[in-house]
Amino acid sequence: MSKREYIPESAERPRAKLSCLGLVVHPTRSIDGVLRELRHWAGLNQARLVQVRATYDQQHVAEEGDAAECDVIVAIGGDGTTLAAIRAGIVARRPVLPVACGSLGILTSLAVPGLLEAVERFARGDWVPRPLPALDITREPEPPLVAFNDVAIVRAGVGQARVTAEVDGQLFARIAGDGCIVSTPLGSSAYALAAGGPLLDPEMEALLITPLAPHGGSSPPFVVRAGSVVRLDPVMTYGGARLEVDGQVADKVRGPVTISFRAGVATLVGFRDQEPFLAVLRQLQIIIDGPRVLAEEARR
């Protein structure tokens, strides 16, 4: 990610000995090489390596530890693993170092070959915080939820989902289709983009509402200011609707869902020389040039 997006020059941290590294790992991907490197580094630096408890199916790779014991949580996998690590770290207020391991993702900022260099740079204070906003989700009488990418109401069976979307008490649209997504700016590059929504600059403080495959009418994606409150009110239909939070099924929808923006909920470890956001999207081929442009370039 770009230093223009997240990184104040004053954010460098003083060197501090790392006594404990926490791990959240992908459930199936091969990470043996990464673990060997981390164990070697931990042994040389007299640091513990523990596996942090998370609501996520992980491979068992180390003794279990609590996030509060750790100096940093290392997420090894893809964006899903990073989101699980973020959730494990927010209560203990621990930063998360995301490491791409055979996966493509927006949140995963490092390739595996740079892992030990990243850990060493963190240890000597040569890192900068990337604060992540979240969506606060309330639904009565269920407990509140938090999303870092998006929250969606989607149809759970046959037939259409019908959702009334309001912004600050004003009607935006009554949607009949597959449902509706509300995203953070960073989350605009995930489910919402796949559904035809726009990309938002991750530095923005805003929410994005993206209707899902609406059947008729006109309800384009809508960017609203961060201080707004979005309310999604589903109509109970034969097939029903479900709530998805950061791509995971949370529950059946039983009533209105209220969504608001909250800044600075979690912290990712960043570095000043990381690739800018748009460069990452192009590397991942989420943004691809037009065929005519590419064909002309190939002929040169």
Residues assigned a catalytic role: 79
Residue identified by tokens 């279990």 is 64
Classified as helix, coil or strand, 279 is: helix
Sequential DSSP letters for 82-127: HHHHHHHHHTTT--EEEEESS---SS--EEGGGHHHHHHHHHTT--
Cβ neighbours around 263 below 10 Å, total:
11
Reduced DSSP (H G I as helix, E B as strand, rest coil) percent helix, strand, coil of the chain, to 5: 25, 35, 40
Categorise residue 286: left if φ over 0, alpha if ψ from -120 to 50, beta otherwise: alpha
Q: Please calculate the CA angle 273-23-192 and round it to the nearest 5 degrees.
A: 65
Between CA 70 and CA 74 the distance in angstroms is 10
What SS3 string covers 31-71?
CHHHHHHHHHHHHHCCCEEEEECCCCCCCCCCCEECHHHCC
Burial status of residue 288 (CB atoms within 10 A of its CB: 0-12, 13-18, 19 or more): exposed
Burial status of residue 121 (CB atoms within 10 A of its CB: 0-12, 13-18, 19 or more): middle
Residue 72: both structure tokens together: 């940093």
